């Protein structure tokens, strides 16, 4: 619980007056976690909201435009509430809290904080994971609602990670009996040549990102046990042919590298009581020139089917390092600039 004084307006700037808000947190340890190591969380809030903050013990003072200071107060209180519930806070969570509180304010100006909150998922190992932006919120809601969901957008938006988390949650809840995680085994612009080892060792390099996400949400021993018993299956897309997958959550990652025929084959594997999630970035296909991406084609063909969910992420939804968002934006702007002469 926090307390704060009334906003004090300065008469010398009547158009957009400056304001000052002071918050006092009851628990010093929790307050320190909210502020972050060397006040890094406060620094991010300052940059995002264009305000100044001054921390002293369990107190923090926010100075800036009145609306921005009020927004900062809601962010800090939301972060304090998460810490009080035993959750951890990373810099990405600060970004999520900023966007979530902004959305709550717009939808329900006089509502309690819980109303309009971003969607979340819970797994035994990871605990509670909350969406960090509106696109992730829409994505989690779509995966709960639809049997088939397409998630498209640039790297770093959490498409694969959240999909694996949702799949693990479904299995732990008993909604599905198996996890089928797949990727096209396409070399990303490089000639890897012959890979030694058995079949699993040959395909592991292509599927490593899925393994990493899986270990984030499940204990390593549970992952190994699941793979040994067949409850968890991680396999290249080519291994899906001829199967009907019932009572399973099936994820196809890097789907932009699936051909048109492969995508049709994969989508028709959907069986009774199953969920299917397809993720990819149409702008990063590694298919040979002139070959149509199965992801783009499937999204276009199935766009009018009401029971199919589609979520599009943009460069602004990148939840990795801030620099990653800027890099993605720079490449997107360059791609658009190259397209303009062709359109003309």
CA distance 104 to 4: 20
Domain count, the chain: 2
- Among 315, 332, 14, CA closest to 152: 315
221, 309: one domain = yes
Domain boundary among 86, 117, 148: 117
Question: What are the CA-CA distances from residue 107 to residues 66, 72, 115 (Å)?
Answer: 19, 17, 9
Which pLDDT score, from 0 to 100, does residue 193 have?
52
Q: Express the helix, strand and coil content of the chain in percent, nearest 5 each.
A: 50, 20, 35
Range of the domain at 103: 2-117
Instruction: Give the 3-state secondary structure of residue 64.
Output: strand
Dihedral class, residue 109 (left if φ above 0, else alpha if ψ from -120 to 50, else beta)? alpha
| Eight-state DSSP code of residue 224 | H
Q: Name 282's Cβ contacts closer than 8 Å, sequence gap at least 6.
A: 152, 256, 293, 295, 296
Domain boundary among 117, 144, 171: 117
285, 165: one domain = yes
The enclosing domain of 12 has a CATH number of 3.30.1370.10
Give the least confident one: 14-23, 68-77, 159-168, 226-235: 14-23
Summarised one tens digit per residue, pLDDT across range 153-170 is 988 899 999 999 999 999
> pLDDT-derived band of residue 342, with 50, 70 and 90 as boundaries?
low
CA angle 329, 330, 334 (to 5 degrees): 115
168, 203: one domain = yes
21, 137: one domain = no
77, 140: one domain = no
- For tokens 């992730």, name the residue: 136
171, 317: one domain = yes
| Eight-state DSSP code of residue 179 | E
91, 202: one domain = no
Average pLDDT over the chain, rounded to an integer:
82
Average of per-residue pLDDT across 84-90: 84
pTM of the model: 0.73
170, 101: one domain = no
Which pLDDT score, from 0 to 100, does residue 327 have?
80
168, 96: one domain = no
Summarised one tens digit per residue, pLDDT across range 140-152 is 999 999 999 999 9
Domain boundary among 117, 146, 161: 117
110, 255: one domain = no
Summarised one tens digit per residue, pLDDT across range 252-306 is 999 999 999 999 999 999 999 999 999 999 888 888 888 889 999 999 999 889 8
129, 85: one domain = no
């Amino acid at each position: 619980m926090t307390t704060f004084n009334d906003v004090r307006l300065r008469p010398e700037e009547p158009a957009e007056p400056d304001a000052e808000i002071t918050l006092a947190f009851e628990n010093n340890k929790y307050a320190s976690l909210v502020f972050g190591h060397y006040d890094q969380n406060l620094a991010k809030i300052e940059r995002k909201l264009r305000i100044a903050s001054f921390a002293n013990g369990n107190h923090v003072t926010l100075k800036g435009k009145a609306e921005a200071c009020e927004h900062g107060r809601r962010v800090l209180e939301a972060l304090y509430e998460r810490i009080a519930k035993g959750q951890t806070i990373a810099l990405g969570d600060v970004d999520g809290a900023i966007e979530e509180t902004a959305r709550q304010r717009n939808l329900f100006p006089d509502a309690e904080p819980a109303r309009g909150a971003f969607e979340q998922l819970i797994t035994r190992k990871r605990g509670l994971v909350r969406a960090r932006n509106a696109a992730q919120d829409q994505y989690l809601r779509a995966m709960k609602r639809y049997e088939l969901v397409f998630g498209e957008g640039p790297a770093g938006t959490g498409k694969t990670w959240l999909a694996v988390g949702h799949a693990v949650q479904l299995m732990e809840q008993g909604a599905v009996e198996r996890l089928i995680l797949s990727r096209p085994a396409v070399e990303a612009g490089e000639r890897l040549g012959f890979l030694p080892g058995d079949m699993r060792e040959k395909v592991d390099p292509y599927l490593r990102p899925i393994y990493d996400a899986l270990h984030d949400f499940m204990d390593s021993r549970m992952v190994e046990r699941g793979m040994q018993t067949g409850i968890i299956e991680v396999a290249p897309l080519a291994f899906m042919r001829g199967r009907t997958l019932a009572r399973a959550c099936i994820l196809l990652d890097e789907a932009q590298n699936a051909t048109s025929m492969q995508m049709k084959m994969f989508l028709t594997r959907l069986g009774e009581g199953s969920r299917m999630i397809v993720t990819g970035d149409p702008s990063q296909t590694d298919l040979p020139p002139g070959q149509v991406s199965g992801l783009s084609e499937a999204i276009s063909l199935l766009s009018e089917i009401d029971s199919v969910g589609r979520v599009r992420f943009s460069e602004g939804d990148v939840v990795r390092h801030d620099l990653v968002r800027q890099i993605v934006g720079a490449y997107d702007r360059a791609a658009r600039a190259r397209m303009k002469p062709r359109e003309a």
